[in-house]
Amino acid sequence: IGINEALTLGFRLEASKQRSNYGLESAFRIGMLGTVGLQLAQSRDQESGTGNAGIFRYSYQERGFNFHFSKYQLSNHYLPIWINSTSDRTRSQNLAGIGYGSLSTGTIDLSTSSTQTFQGVESNAKTLGYSKSLGHNLTFFANLTRITGSEPDKQLTLGLNWYPGKNL
């Protein structure tokens, strides 16, 4: 619900026979300094009990330049509805990125993330991305990612997004 032009508040709820998950969400503009988002959530499971989660997001956009940062932290017993197993779940994640773009050249961005699981496994990823509108309904994108940690990897993703029409 938009409270005013600078503040949006929300509530979410998911439930199954064994588990519920609910939370409060907010997004607010800090004048010309960007946008902050906060989310707090709690889960209750018949077997594992109660868990908590928190997410902080910040983003700034000015003309073609953008910057974003996010951090989320989960307690050991926090379980989303869609998780079937408690093995090797994410405990925390930090993400930061910076980018620049224009209609004529496309958008290029660089991001880095750090993830830690409850079992102590850490991984880091660095991604270089590019996207460019190729016309009214078509966008090309490419991402090159290098992952370090317990399972190092390099990934190249190329793709096209096609939007068949307005509101589709």
User: What sign does the CA torsion over 120, 16, 55, 145 have?
Assistant: positive
- What pLDDT is stored for residue 136 in this prediction? 81
Query: Whole-angstrom Cα distance, residue 84 to residue 46?
Result: 13
E strands, 75-105, in order: 90-102
CB within 8 A of 78, min separation 6: which ones? 41, 42, 43, 51, 52, 53
Do 140 and 134 touch, CB atoms closer than 8 A?
yes
Q: Tens digit of pLDDT for each residue in 81-125? A: 888 766 678 899 999 999 999 988 999 999 999 999 888 889 999
pTM (predicted TM-score): 0.79
Q: Tens digit of pLDDT for each residue in 35-77? A: 999 999 999 998 889 999 999 999 999 989 999 999 999 998 8
* Residues in the chain, total: 168
Q: Tens digit of pLDDT for each residue in 123-136? A: 999 999 999 999 88
N-to-C CA span, the chain = 23
Instruction: Retrieve residue 13's tokens.
Output: 């709820």
3-state helix, strand, coil in the chain (%, to 5): 0, 70, 30
Query: Whole-angstrom Cα distance, residue 70 to residue 89?
Result: 18
Do 39 and 55 touch, CB atoms closer than 8 A?
yes
